[in-house]
Structure 1
Amino acid sequence: MTSTFSRDRLDFTRANMPEDFQFGVAASSYQIEGSKFGGCGRSHWDDFAATPGNTARGEDGSLACDHYHRWAEDLDLVRDAGLDCYRFSISWARVLPEGRGQANQEGIDFYERLVDGMLERGIKPFATLYHWDLPSPLADLGGWRNRDIASWFADYTDVIMRRIGDRVHATAPINEPWCVAWLSHFMGHHAPGLRDIRATARAMHHVLLAHGRATQAMRALGMKNLGLVTNFEYAEPADESAEAKAAAHLYDGIYNRWFLDGVFKKSYPQEVLAGLGPNMPENYEQDFDIIAEPVDWVGINYYTRKLIAPDGTNQFPALKEVEGPLPKTLMDWEIYPEGLDFFMRRVHEDYAQGLPIYITENGMASPDMAKDGAVHDPDRIQFLNAHLAKVHKAVEDGLPIKGYFIWSLLDNYEWALGYEKRFGLVHVDFDTLSRTPKASWHALKEALKAE
């Protein structure tokens, strides 16, 4: 790989990586499928988006990219780019509209068609069982605050994986547990939109208990290649003060170490428990044997770093984000490839201990516009070059990095931010739903061509 980054081509080819290294792309059900199709039940994201003020322009995922009907076209884009894998998620509400009980045959048939379509195109299916679209009837029962969600999730896992588990290449139960628990129950930015520390403490624990129960359910079906996917942000003190360093360490504990510690060390960071402890479920320590059900690989979702400072209050967590000086994406996230390098090495050395590691999400939002049938996105190409250089170096250093997935295949519904934040390798016109591969897609296709 070259050391100077191009803005119009990717500075790697397949030959730069080991023969078994996998290149993939990712997406999620609610963001692309269209929740109004195929008997899908209502999710708490439909409820959240229907509440004024929660999402940009009141936008929701009811239509999204209409992947429900256009999946074949979309899988052709994955195949034609030369990608090996497609990381997709399954909608709990599409499989079980009530969250429990009667399955929706239309929904299960859709995922069977999708998985079979990948295999027909030579694409390895990487499945995620939950990417945030909780069935509304379960939200009515407390959702992630309710310990019973671990059993509900295991039952749902059994229903769908009895049908497609023999054909998926790899599976992770839950995408980004920090978003499921903290972002949604403490910060209130995502469904269910709570700002409640007691709800947060319970969700932070129950999301891992559900992960463990689902993993056990898949093991009971004889499934292999089961993983854990968590998201990471590099937390750096905003200054050299002891207070800023303590705040950054706490942020790192909440965001990064809580979930890895639970699965790999059967414990939670003490500095986080200092705040959440009084609100944790009774006897939560007894669940660690389930939470720590062995996994076969670890997924790293990485986008940015945050500069952290104390906020001057005495209310946990008593920290704030400070704007940093680095170039930023359209999400206002700093571009910091060094953070990806840090987390690959931390996960390998402190947790996974030799397990395969996949970069399961990495990408950027940019203000991409189609003009004369083309979409130029040089900043995304530069972003991918910078981060893939770190992956390449880690592989050269002997780390077991086995794959890299770009977020995302399509421009899609970016949750509370609506449709204007474009992460896709493929541009979507949200009026016509036409797809236009961007320059980054073409650059990827060129880089992945067989030698």
Structure 2
Amino acid sequence: MLPTRKDFPQDFLFGVATSAYQIEGHSFGGAGPTHWDSFAATPGNVDKADNGAVGCDHYHRLVEDLDLIAGGNFDVYRFSTSWARVLPEGRGAVNQDGLDFYDRLVDGLLERGVKPAATLYHWELPSALADLGGWRNRDIANWFADYTRVIMERIGDRVWSAAPINEPWCVSWLSHFEGHHAPGLRDIRATARAMHHVLLSHGRAIEVMRDLGMSNLGAVCNFEYVEPADNSAETARAVATYDAIYNRFFLGGIFKGEYPQEVLEGLAPHLPTGWQDDFATITQPVDWCGLNYYTRKIIGPADTPWPSLEERPGPLPKTEMGWEIYPDGLEYFLKRTARDFTGDLPLYVTENGMAAPDRLENGAVQDDDRIDYINRHLGAVQRAVQAGVPVKGYYSWSLMDNFEWALGYDKRFGLVHVDFDSLERTPKASYHAFRKALTR
């Protein structure tokens, strides 16, 4: 059982989320190549050499998938648009088939009474722009602004909300410092520039959408609760550094026009000249803030160059991703974000969910572990609301099983099971639990 609508404020919204490259299928519809295509084509980068060529074939199964969203009684669908589907070379010629697809998506949602919540970028950078340095190149802010104008001139009059970039930490740190996602770099200078340029691009996109007369614009960041491995001063420093990189850098840039000192200790020598002058653009006002939350990490010091930290194993039950289940962290971040960064601005949980060992048996998936996970995290949201935090919605990740980036198709986050051979959709018990809880 999940809490029902009556357990939340009357204006509280429930939704589901996906991303373009993970579900659409990138090998058709005129989409151009992306750095995820080349990353996946490089041996060893993605489990089983999986890729996003077909994904869940959402491109051709759009009507069926929109019916699933509406059938689950969800209020909001948070989707992303693919830069390379709209502009195959990242700039220049527009792919009209791509614009038509997002037109159909938005209109289909509205016809079903579902609010379209658009994200402009969820990690699939056009290859032509990656060849020019991608997020390391300051020019990307203007390339992204131009892309924003092209797509939002088409659908911006009908989307309910819009955010420029999903999870800047993943776009920059995970992909340029840790090398786990495209473009797969491990370079501190590239990381510093990507972290700054992703925020500059965010600000430019907000400017463009404001110029188009759009409203209900937001920022979406991801968060991990961090616990110290012990009580030493060295561990406390490592924890503060991890928290600064993961949880405070991007919020600090967007909402306070500053970067944490713990991050500048390592990245300042590598940031582009005059980076401080960009905060006027980065801090363009937004109307809401989205929080993506999944887990906590145990951090200790490491005898390495900055950031001089390492992850330690934790004792809590874990998802199929190996992530500890810690709902209290969501309550903490909702309270801290409002207190330290956003004030009275509406907050949304824009992603929350778990990978589980789902098994399709006799035409059904009884994912009780996922129902429990969602129930416990909704409890954390309720506690934050009761404490006066302006939380206005919760979106489950994800609508359906999909391409889980470097982990391929094995990790299943969906409320709907996807058979990746037949592509048949089967709603899981968690989907049915939401449908019942959200019945009006």
| Alignment partner of 1:398 out of 383, 388, 393 | 388
Distance in structure 1 (CA, Å) of the matches to 2:260 and 2:340:
14
1:197 to 2:188 alignment: yes
Q: Secondary structure at the match of 1:67?
A: coil
Q: Secondary structure at the match of 1:97?
A: coil
Kindly state the Cα deviation for residue 378 of structure 1 after the two structures are TM-superposed: 0.5
Q: 2:202 maps to which residue?
A: 211
The 5-angstrom pairing of residues 291-440 of structure 1 reads: 291-313=282-304, 315-440=305-430
Confirm or deny that 1:18 pairs with 2:9: yes
> What is the correspondence of 1:14-53 to structure 2 with a 5 Å cutoff?
14-53=5-44
Q: How does 1:247-262 map to 2 (within 5 A)?
A: 247-262=238-253
| Letter in structure 1 aligned against 2:396 | I
One-letter amino acid of the structure 1 residue matched with residue 350 of structure 2: T
Structure 1, unpaired ranges of 5+: 1-8
- Matched with 1:4 is none
2:406 partner letter:
A
How far apart are residue 245 of structure 1 and its match? Answer: 1.1
Q: Which amino acid aligns with 2:60?
A: H
Query: What letter matches 2:100 in structure 1?
Result: D
User: What is the rounded CA distance, in whole Å, between the counterparts of 1:396 and 1:118 in structure 2?
Assistant: 31
* Deviation, structure 1 residue 29: 0.2
The residue type paired with residue 431 of structure 1 is D
Number of the residue aligned with 2:432: 442
> What is the one-letter code of the residue matched to 2:315?
P
Q: Hey, what's the Cα distance between the residues in 2 that align with 1:59 and 1:73?
A: 24
Deviation (angstroms), 1:18: 1.1
What is aligned with 1:238? Answer: 229
SS at match of 1:412: coil
Segment of structure 1 superposing worse, 84-93 or 241-250: 241-250
After TM superposition, give the deviation of residue 89 of structure 1 in Å.
0.2
Cα drift, residue 227 of structure 1: 0.1
Deviations 1:191-232 (A, max 9, x none): 000000000000010000000000000000000000000000
Mapping of 1:42-81 within 5 angstroms? 42-81=33-72
Amino acid at match of 1:440: S
Give CA-to-partner distance per residue, 1:332-383, whole Å, 9 cap, x none: 0000001001100011111111000000000000111111010010100000
Residue 164 of structure 2 is aligned to residue 185 of structure 1: no
Amino acid at match of 1:52: P
Q: Give the whole-Å Cα distance in 1 for the aligned partners of 2:119 and 2:69.
A: 17
Shift of 1:118: 0.3
1:137 paired residue number: 128
SS in structure 2 opposite 1:68? coil
Letter in 2 for 1:412: N
* CA positional deviation for 1:111: 0.2
Which whole-Å deviations, capped at 9, do the CAs of 1:423-448 have from their partners, x for residues lacking one? 00000000000000000001111111
TM-score (norm: length of structure 2):
1.00
Between the aligned partners of 1:312 and 1:96, the Cα distance in structure 2 is 45
Q: Aligned partners of 1:17 and 1:386: how far apart in 2?
A: 14
Question: Following superposition of structure 1 onto structure 2, how do residues 147-186 of structure 1 map, counting pairs within 5 Å?
Answer: 147-186=138-177
Q: Tell me the TM-score normalized by structure 1.
A: 0.97
**Aligned equivalents of 2:172 and 2:379: distance in 1?**
32
Q: Structure 2 stretches of 5 or more lacking a match?
A: none
- Cα separation, 2, equivalents of 1:69 and 1:121: 18
The residue type paired with residue 31 of structure 1 is Q
Deviation readout 1:222-271 (Å, 9 max, x if unpaired): 00000000000011111111111110110000001000110111110011
Partners of 1:445 and 1:114 lie apart in 2 by: 21
Stretches of 4+ aligned residues off by more than 4 angstroms: none
Structure-1 separation of matches of 2:43 and 2:133:
22
Using the alignment, how far apart are the partners of 1:350 and 1:72 within structure 2? 42
Instruction: Select 1:118's aligned residue among 109, 128, 138.
Output: 109
Distance 2:160 2:212 in 1: 14
Matched residue type, 1:376 = Q
What is the number of equivalent residue pairs in this alignment? 440
Query: Secondary structure in 2 aligned to 1:154?
Result: helix
